[in-house]
Structure formats: C-alpha cells, structure tokens
Amino acid sequence: MDVITVLLGCLLGDCYAVKSKAYFPGTSFRFKQSGIHKAYLFYLYEFSYKKGSGTNSGLREYKTILINAANNKPKTYYGYEFDLFTFSSLN
C-alpha cells in the first residue's frame, strides 16, 4: 500500500508512465528530476527498491540541451532518472 500511495502522489508531480512494447510489454513508471533535487530522487529510488518495486540498477544521469529562441544560445541541464519494474497488469 505504501508503494501505491507514493506512486499515485508522484504521478501528480514528478513521475510519468511509459508503455513498453519491447522485451516485456507492459507499463513502467519513470521518475525524473533535475540535479537540484538529487537527494529527493535518491530517497524515492531507495524506497522503491526496498519495497520490491524497483531494480538495483541505480539512477541514470541525463543531459538536456535547450536552445533559447531569442538569442540562439544553448543551455545545458543535468538531472537523474530511474524506472520501476514493468507491470504487464497495467495495460
């Protein structure tokens, strides 16, 4: 019940569902945050791993480059993300 409560709360904020058709068709949940919120994301990762809904693969760092339309200058953002297991029962 704890995992479902946290998952529903996060879906309202910083999590989203991804429907996969690859090796394991189903739906997984991806948590993604900027580097500023790294501690919060690590907490969610540890919580989900200890509750059995996440893998032991750890967090992935990502980089996003956005180009300002006004001055055509790129700005780079860094953050972290992780996925929960894929659940075929949610399709």
Angle subtended at Cα 66 by Cα 61 and Cα 68, rounded to the nearest 5 degrees:
155
What is the model's pTM? Answer: 0.74
Res. 15: pLDDT tops 90: no
Cβ-count burial 37-69 (b if 16+ within 10 Å, e if not): eeeebeebbeebbeeebbeeeebeeeeeeeeee
In this prediction, what percent of the chain has a pLDDT beyond 70? 100
Report yes or no: 31 and 46 within 8 Å, Cβ to Cβ: no
**In which band, very low, low, confident or very high, does the pLDDT at 6 lie, cut at 50, 70 and 90?**
confident
Res. 34: pLDDT tops 90: no
Position 63 scores a pLDDT of 93
At residue 23, φ and ψ (nearest 5 deg) are -65, -40
Res. 21: pLDDT tops 80: no
Give me the chain's average pLDDT, please. Answer: 85
In this prediction, what percent of the chain has a pLDDT beyond 90? 20
